[in-house]
Amino acid sequence: MAGKPKRRRRPRPKGVFCLEGDWWGKIYKASTVEPILMLMRRWDPYYVPYVHRDVATRDELEYYLLRWAQRGLARYPILYLAFHGDTNVFYIGGQDAPENMVTLDELAVLLEGRCHQRIIYFASCGTLKLQRKAIQSFLHQTDALAVCGYRGTVDWLDATAFELLVFSAMQQHTSTVSGARAMRRRVRERTPYLSKRLGFHMVVRS
Q: Read off the pLDDT of each residue in 24-52 and give the average, rounded to a whole number.
A: 89
Q: Report if residue 152 sits inside a domain.
A: yes
pLDDT digits (tens, 9 = 90+) for 84-106: 999 999 999 877 788 899 999 99
Q: Give the pLDDT of residue 140.
A: 98
Query: Would you give the DSSP letter of residue 99?
Result: G
Instruction: Say if 6 falls within a structural domain.
Output: no
In a domain, 98, yes or no: yes
CA gap 29, 119 in Å, rounded: 29
Q: Higher confidence at residue 189 or residue 10?
A: 189
CA dist 38 to 7, 15, 49, Å?
26, 12, 9
Query: What is the maximal distance between C-alpha atoms in the chain?
Result: 73
Q: Indicate whether 9 belongs to any domain.
A: no
Least trusted range by pLDDT, from 26-30, 37-41, 102-106, 175-179: 26-30
- What is the domain-level CATH number for residue 62? 3.40.50.1460
Beta strands per DSSP E along 2-127:
16-20, 50-54, 78-82, 84-86, 89-91, 101-103, 119-123
| pTM, full prediction | 0.93
